[in-house]
Structure formats: structure tokens, C-alpha cells
Structure 1
Amino acid sequence: MKSLVVPPAAQRDDEAIQMLSAWIAEKGLHCSLKVGMWEENGRNEAAAWGILLADAVRHVANAMQEQFGHTAPDTIAAVVESLLNELEEPTSKAQGSFSHGHG
């Protein structure tokens, strides 16, 4: 199993909350999500996830610029195009169940 490191800010912050973990395992994507936190606090859950995912795309773009020299705007455009294509015509089904565990 190959895990990523926990970011230093999350290690320092006792209030840090892991929102998303994504794994490629057994030839597919497996995710753990913390859904409901924003809704429970009177915010629009879908909109908040959109912001989180947009921020994640920016982090991917910045990392690819640093690692491979690809410009961040080009990477963002390519990721958004791929995202929209995948939402329109999925290459595989999203399956599984949602556990309402608290952590």
C-alpha cells in the first residue's frame, strides 16, 4: 500500500478534517468522503464540494507545472475537459455504498 503524506498544516491543526481520500485498488477507484459537514452547518453541500474540487484541480495544475513544466492554465483546461467528458459519458460505473460513520 502506497499512502501519501498528511500535509504539515493538517498535522499541526487539531481541528483538521480529512474530506476526501481516493485510491486506485483492485483495478478501480475507491473513495472515502466526508459528506454532510457543510449541510449540517447551513451551507450548500454541493456548492462547497465544487469549491473543494476546484481547489484540488488548482493543486494538481500547480504540481504538474512544478514537476513536468506544463502550464497551470493548460492543465486546468485539460482536467476540466476530461471531467466534463467523464461526467457525460463515464468510462466506468461509480458503485459502492456510503457509510455514515463519524470520524
Structure 2
Amino acid sequence: MSATVVESLPDEGNEVNELGVPQAAERDDQSWELMRVWVAERGLHCALKVGVYESEGIGEERAWGIVLADAARHLADAVSSFTGRDRDAALSAIRLSMEDELNKPTSRKEGAFRD
């Protein structure tokens, strides 16, 4: 993945506090959204587009692993830019936190997929 839109604080004029669409996605009429993540009602809520890669003969697990790793790198860049901390140290801390959360979740996952 290449450049990303990084917003550090909610947009005051945006009543639902959603992030803007990256400019590349606005320019590309073949772009699609893969994931949307919200904090609401004191929990994390996700909308995921699953099946896009499988229909192209690519395993969803592999594809989503790459997407999440790319997102972690973008996040490390954003954290480094926002806080001044070292990018590699930020990525290491993100990776450790992800491994800890995967191994010992701090909350239950609830809900189901819907169309």
C-alpha cells in the first residue's frame, strides 16, 4: 500500500466523526473499501468486506494478513509523525500489542456477519 490519509483528531464539523476518503480512492473509480472500524457503545465495531480476494483465487487469510500488516506500518508512520517517537519502535510496540491481544483478548468478540 502507498500513501494514506491520517487524521489525528475528529473533524469538528463532521457529526459522525468519520475519517475522510483517501484522495487516491476518490480518483480511482475501481477502488473499494475493505474495512471500517468504529468505537461505539464502549466497544469496537467493524464492517469488513470479506470474499474479495478469495474470488480472485487468493486466500483471504493471506490477503488480510498483508492488509493488516500494511495498516500497522501506516499507523507506525502516523504515530511517529504525531508524537515524534521512532517509527521502528512504534511498529514494534504495535506488533507486541497485537500479539498480546490475539493471545489474551481484553474483551469478548460479539456479533455476526450480515449482508
Q: Measure the CA separation in 2 of the matches of 1:65 and 1:79.
A: 12
**Which residue in the other structure is 1:72 paired with?**
87
**Which residue in the other structure is 2:38 paired with?**
23
The aligned amino acid for 2:96 is: E
Output the TM-score relative to the length of structure 1.
0.94
User: Structure 1: which 4+ aligned runs deviate by more than 6 Å?
Assistant: none
**Which residue in the other structure is 1:62 paired with?**
77
Output the TM-score relative to the length of structure 2.
0.84
Q: Measure the CA separation in 1 of the matches of 2:96 and 2:82.
A: 21
The aligned amino acid for 1:93 is: R
Deviation digits for residues 21-69 of structure 1, max 9, x if unmatched? 0000000000000001101110011011000000000100111111111
The aligned amino acid for 1:45 is: E
**Which residue in the other structure is 1:86 paired with?**
101
Structure 1, unpaired ranges of 5+? none
Kindly tell me the number of residue pairs found equivalent between the two proteins: 100
Q: Measure the CA separation in 1 of the matches of 2:110 and 2:29.
A: 33
Give the root-mean-square deviation of aligned CA atoms: 0.7
Q: Percent identity?
A: 44
Q: Measure the CA separation in 2 of the matches of 1:29 and 1:14.
A: 30
1:95 matched to 2:107? The reply is no
